[in-house]
């Protein structure tokens, strides 16, 4: 049972296509995994398009005709070379099936690299400007306590992790702002998450503070 969902504002921006493209992959992947948000996003879409139609009832038949012609005459989309779409990823000998929204951009997934503390990450460059990371935490792993200069979105693809606030399972979507600090950990179970940041992490405790100059290399 999914307990944490994107808020209304994020869902509306997602449906409108106004989200940062990497954050949209995280929200879209949650929607793939969550029947509740899938239905709700559809409702928002219906509501918004009804509003749009209502606002443009003065379309003359001539305008409609012109629009139709435009659509019919527009060039067919270029067909690019087939790209390698992955159904699943393998890390540390474990396989994880990818939800559809993630599968669509899987050909952009970079190589896995190990970061300290039984944590692996693979960058996924969604476009020229924004990226997400797949983060795999083995059992008993921890990420040093940190805050965010802006926002962090984390989606559990498979497994369980916890922080000071709660425990998060498959499909849970956690959105944290700059005022939150937390230290994600796994216990007996490992965890694959999808993580998005709009600014590098800020480590707050002990030795990890020394990592701050490099935090952008870690997670972004």
Q: Interface residues with Zn ion (CB under 5 A)?
A: 5, 34, 36-37
Q: Which residues contact 185 (CB under 8 A, 6 or more apart)?
A: 137, 141, 142, 143, 161, 162, 163
In this structure, how many other beta carbons lie within 10 angstroms of the beta carbon of residue 26? 27
Element (H, E) at 25: helix 21-33
Q: How far is the CB of 207 from Zn ion (least distance, A)?
A: 37
Shortest Å, Cβ 181 to Zn ion:
25
**Residue placing its CB nearer to Zn ion in the complex, 119 or 155:** 155
Of 36 and 97, CB closest to Zn ion:
36
Smallest gap from residue 133 Cβ to Zn ion (A): 21
Tell me the CA distances in angstroms from 210 to 126, 137, 205, one per residue in order. Answer: 29, 22, 9
Q: Which is nearer to Zn ion, 30 or 182 (CB)?
A: 30
Question: Are the CB atoms for 195 and 133 separated by under 8 Å?
Answer: yes
CB of 37 to Zn ion, least distance (A): 3
Asked whether 27 and 15 are in contact (CB, 8 A), the reply is: no
| Least distance from Zn ion to the Cβ atom of residue 50, Å | 23
Q: Which 3 state secondary structure label does DSSP give 75?
A: coil
The Cα–Cα gap between 177 and 141 comes to 23
Q: Which is nearer to Zn ion, 25 or 109 (CB)?
A: 25
The residue (of 5 and 121) whose beta carbon lies closer to Zn ion is: 5
């Amino acid at each position: 049972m999914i307990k944490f969902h994107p808020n209304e504002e994020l869902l509306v921006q997602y449906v409108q296509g106004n989200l940062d493209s990497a954050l949209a992959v995280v929200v879209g992947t949650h929607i793939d995994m969550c029947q509740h948000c899938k239905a709700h996003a559809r409702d928002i879409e219906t509501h918004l398009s009804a509003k749009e139609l209502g606002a443009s009832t003065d379309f003359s038949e001539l305008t409609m005709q012109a629009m139709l012609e435009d659509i019919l005459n527009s060039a067919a989309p270029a067909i690019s070379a087939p790209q390698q779409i992955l159904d699943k990823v393998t890390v540390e000998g474990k396989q994880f099936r990818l939800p559809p929204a993630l599968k669509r951009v899987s050909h952009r997934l970079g190589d896995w690299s190990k970061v300290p503390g039984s944590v692996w990450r693979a960058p996924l460059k969604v476009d020229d400007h924004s990226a997400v990371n797949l983060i795999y935490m083995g059992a008993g792993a921890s990420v040093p306590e940190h805050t965010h200069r802006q926002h962090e979105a984390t989606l559990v693809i498979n497994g369980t992790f916890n922080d000071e606030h709660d425990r998060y399972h498959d499909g849970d979507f956690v959105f944290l702002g700059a005022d939150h600090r937390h230290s994600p950990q796994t216990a007996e179970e490992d965890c694959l998450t999808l993580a998005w940041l709009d600014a590098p992490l800020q480590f707050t405790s002990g030795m990890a503070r020394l990592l701050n100059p490099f935090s952008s290399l870690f997670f972004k």
